[in-house]
Structure 1
């Protein structure tokens, strides 16, 4: 049919050998626009021009991405990219750093490698666009949109229909709480207190997204940071598959974040917030062991060594470098965020449902 496009994702992954095939058929995207907030899990090039060690604008990053090296911290597409395709967007949402007036009406990606909920997270690596700065950038985008559409009422109604994705918080652990030699947070707060103050700060940021017009907001929990190759190398696992005390700390944060989503939904009846349970989605299923080895050769910082050769069969790797999932893992995460496979994947609904509300 004229103007119709079909998107298919067909992935096989070691996580319980789950076979994922999703068809999305549609002439138009399911929502008019899609805005992305977060860290290196969604960054699509915003860090390229920053003075920071957290960059992925060199090979072997992007080796399987259609446009090659872009600043994405994986071999191919990010979770945010794949969710955009599942929502029916024919092009990838542009990074804020380069988004033109022609592009912003379909959305903007504000994600920044090493960024956190807290201002100081990731600061030892150099510049990064933390969550508060991303919100300021979104405000600037709305002003640009308002000027282009020349009708504030129209812009306000338009923004209510979009999907907003927020995937941040990992660096508040990896590049803050878990580095006591640089950051005082682990001496200031117990694990439970830290999860509480983090979620309190994040709560204000999510309310800001709402106040800037968002009504359909997907909030990602944190993945199992204790299972990343870099943290396993750094802390050891005492014979277990992962660093359990780190995963326990992350679980405290995730539980509080899920409760926050419930609270936001009861306080803002005209909005729909949903929690994406990344820890559940990425948890090993059954008895198949997770290969916790990076696909690329990594340096001390856990990132791919510049111009090194990655593994050949990237469809069988969970991690691309010491911290970041491979495209096949991102495909699994994105498809289960979009359509839940088991009830614990998303709460109270998946992204396909959120788009229809």
Structure 2
């Protein structure tokens, strides 16, 4: 039954997982999956940070300028739109919850200089609470949860708001990039096993995008004539290259589950033609977010980034489409999210 949800959007990037949700839920006929759970950072945060004491929220224009229902305070008429955890009611739980939190990371202290945030560990604790509440509503919670799709898009801040900020965090002094990737992988593995323990069986693990192409990093470090900061993209690759083997290992040690790796860097890599400029489409303040109520560039389809960190709607659409139905074998391994929806 269609219903209205009043939400404050923390970041406009909610658009990409909403596009993905349309593939899963809003196609013709019955939903392809009964429920959809979302974990991650600002790329998926749909309002969980709004009431937190943090600067990592953007519930103001121009964020939402390309989202059909706009930004703060809009009534969203999407059928079964996945609500943020902080506003989810008992009626919402069976169809899914969004736990994403801007500035959150795999590591607990990531993003702490920006204020409060809900780390991945805390997001999983929130999910455990939801599973407990669901057990009071459903006769067979385990059977229900194993049919759901779970996506996790996190790790960006473990670089942007941790390792790449040596004056705020000790990580770059303690570890080289290989060692840091190992630390992240170790923590991530435990978090993914926790999600499996809580009933997750169809789990899509998103890799990191090319963080060295973010306007904020280009402005900070320079590119030596290259399009992006290559050493940052190399650092991201070190971590991303551990995710596919991690997914393969989990599929062996947890054979009742289906894990898959979504290669965001490959999906968003320019292919042919002149690459779009890596410049923010809005006027940005010192922290890289859009200045409130500023006017963004008129043709955002020709821009990769809306602000200094986050992509525009055109990039979100490409990510949603190709994570659901991969075009290249490198996009998703061992299968795309669409296959989750088709298989029992």
**Mapped contact 2:276–2:302 kept (Cα < 8 A):** no
* Counterparts of 2:318 and 2:223, CA distance in 1: 26
Helix, strand or coil: the match of 2:203?
strand
Q: State the shift of 1:102 in Å.
A: 1.3
* Counterparts of 1:112 and 1:171, CA distance in 2: 11
Helix, strand or coil: the match of 2:232?
helix
1:35 paired to 2:37 = yes
Instruction: Name the counterpart of 2:50.
Output: 48
- CA deviation profile, 1:191-234 (whole Å, cap 9, x unmatched): 00000110110000000000000000000000000001111111
- CA deviation profile, 1:153-207 (whole Å, cap 9, x unmatched): x111000000000000000000000000110100100000000110110000000
* Counterparts of 1:252 and 1:261, CA distance in 2: 15
Q: How does 1:74-223 map to 2 (within 5 A)?
A: 90-149=79-138, 151=139, 154-223=140-209
**Mapped contact 1:218–1:275 kept (Cα < 8 A):** yes
Q: State the shift of 1:147 in Å.
A: 1.2
Helix, strand or coil: the match of 1:218?
strand
* Counterparts of 1:245 and 1:92, CA distance in 2: 39
Gaps of 5+ in 2: 3-22
Helix, strand or coil: the match of 1:343?
coil
**Mapped contact 1:46–1:71 kept (Cα < 8 A):** no
Instruction: Name the counterpart of 2:19.
Output: none
Q: State the shift of 1:291 in Å.
A: 1.4
1:231 paired to 2:217 = yes
Q: State the shift of 1:71 in Å.
A: 9.4
TM-score of the two chains, using structure 2 as the length reference: 0.90
1:351 paired to 2:337 = yes
Helix, strand or coil: the match of 2:87?
coil
* Counterparts of 1:68 and 1:116, CA distance in 2: 27
1:297 paired to 2:299 = no
Q: State the shift of 1:103 in Å.
A: 1.3
Distance 1:96-1:71 versus aligned 2 partners, 3 A rule: farther
Instruction: Name the counterpart of 2:9.
Output: none
**Higher mean displacement: 52-61 or 313-322:** 313-322
Instruction: Name the counterpart of 1:309.
Output: 295
Helix, strand or coil: the match of 1:219?
strand
Q: State the shift of 1:70 in Å.
A: 4.2
Aligned with 1:325 (options 289, 311, 319): 311
Structure 1 vs Structure 2 CA RMSD? 1.9
Distance 1:292-1:130 versus aligned 2 partners, 3 A rule: same
**Greater RCO (CA < 8 Å, at least 6 residues apart):** 1
Gaps of 5+ in 1: 4-21, 78-88
**Mapped contact 1:295–1:320 kept (Cα < 8 A):** yes
Instruction: Name the counterpart of 2:12.
Output: none
* Counterparts of 2:36 and 2:132, CA distance in 1: 16
Q: State the shift of 1:113 in Å.
A: 0.2
**Higher mean displacement: 274-283 or 305-314:** 305-314
